[in-house]
Homo-oligomer: A and B are copies of this chain.
Amino acid sequence: RPSLLFLGLVAAVCLGLNLLFLTAYLLCLCCCKRDEEPDTKRPHACCVTWMAVTAGLICCTAVGIGFYGNSETNDGVYQLLYALDNANHTLTGIDALVAGSTQRLQGGLEQHLGRLSEVLAPRADYLQTLKFLQQLAAGVVLQLSGLPAWHGVSAQLTALAARAAYVEYYRWLAYLLFFILVLTVCLLACLGLAKRSRCLLTVMLCCGLLTLVLSWASMALDTAAAVGTSDFCMAPDKFIMNQTESEISAEVAHYYLYCEQSLSNPFQQALTVFQRSLTTMQIQTQGLIQFALPLFPTAEKDLLGVQQLLNTSETSLHQLTAMLDCRGLHKDYLDALIGICYDGVEGLLYLVLFSLLVAASFSTIICATPRTPPHFAFDPFNPQARRIAAHNPAR
């Protein structure tokens, strides 16, 4: 943060020096103008046109570069938003799967087992099996409750994405308006130079000064943003681990941030317990269907219900395994980093270049404006001027 303030200060000093130089130049010009011979103005005039044409060309090039940079930054930020949205989708999916499985194993299974224990009450060994099933389900629920809850991280990501989208939209729009302003002022300044309209030129001088200030401000903001983003991009993992410290454990954050084959999955134990319990429960249920069903036909509906529930839980478990695996979230993380650290920073650097070029061309235009001679010797599109030029050499 202090380094960003320092950059802002440097830009402010640059703007100040630029304005000081321009003021000194304009004052100097005003003082010296009265002493000049009218004949010495001819070479100046040619020089002024060249300066105006060059400034116009630089201005157009700058707007082209700025347009490219603006769209590049926009692309980068949208890639970030897309990755955030995707990660959010995965996180809420995990929470939903965990909640669904817990609810199924607590509520749904409880009901079936309650009814079954009434039906199978005469046989103590079947009641034992039902109790075992209940214990296994309780064990799975306990393991699932040990998985991290992602809603906090998910809410953080949603807030971050919403803020980034908001800021980016207005940043993009502001630059588009700035491009239009620069082009308009540049065009009108050239027109003012060509038409030798003092009034137009004065207005353009003020607009040019405003644009100059805006372009220096834009350069300061862009440089600060580029440096800040680069700082983040140098060690994003540490920053993210600090930020998520309160929400998720360091081990889990480490697993998702690095996602190496050698790192063990921190959820492996929970998943293994879940799978083993499911397998055991399925075997036990199958045993009950095979042996108890012929004796107690009324238990059929509930036994098949338990089997169905266990199969659904197995599908959920496979989806949960896939979602908890680091590959998906790690890819989103890499996509977001590429978006912000490559496209984003590249676009910002182009915008810095744009600001510099605009500052240069507007300084040139402001310098050129007051030197415009009252009779503009060689305006190709003004027959009157041509006629004046035609009469001058004969003098």
| Interface residues of A, dominant DSSP | helix
The answer, yes or no, to whether A86 is at the interface (CB within 8 Å) is: yes
Query: A331 — which chain B residues lie within 8 A by C-beta?
Result: 86, 328, 331
In the assembled complex, the Cα of A279 lies from the Cα of B265 at a distance in Å of 18
Docked CA distance A67–B327 (Å): 36
Residues of A374-394 contacting chain B, CB below 8 A: 378-381, 386-387, 389-394
A321 within 8 A of B: yes
A324: which B residues are within 8 A, CB to CB? Answer: 322
* Copies of the polypeptide in the assembly: 2
* Interchain CA distance A391-B322 in the complex, whole Å: 87
A residues 342-386 near B (Cβ < 8 Å) are: 378-381, 386
Check B394–A386 contact: CB distance below 8 A. Answer: no
Chain B: which residue is nearest A280 at the CB level?
A: B279
Q: Inside 8 A of A108's CB, which chain B residues have their CB?
A: none
Interface pairs (23), CB distance under 8 Å? A46-B381, A50-B381, A64-B64, A67-B68, A68-B68, A268-B314, A268-B315, A272-B314, A276-B279, A276-B282, A279-B280, A318-B325, A322-B325, A322-B327, A323-B327, A328-B331, A378-B378, A379-B380, A386-B389, A387-B393, A390-B390, A390-B393, A394-B394
| Sample of 6 further A-B pairs with CB below 8 A, known A86-B331, A271-B318, A321-B325 | A46-B381, A268-B315, A275-B279, A276-B279, A322-B327, A394-B394
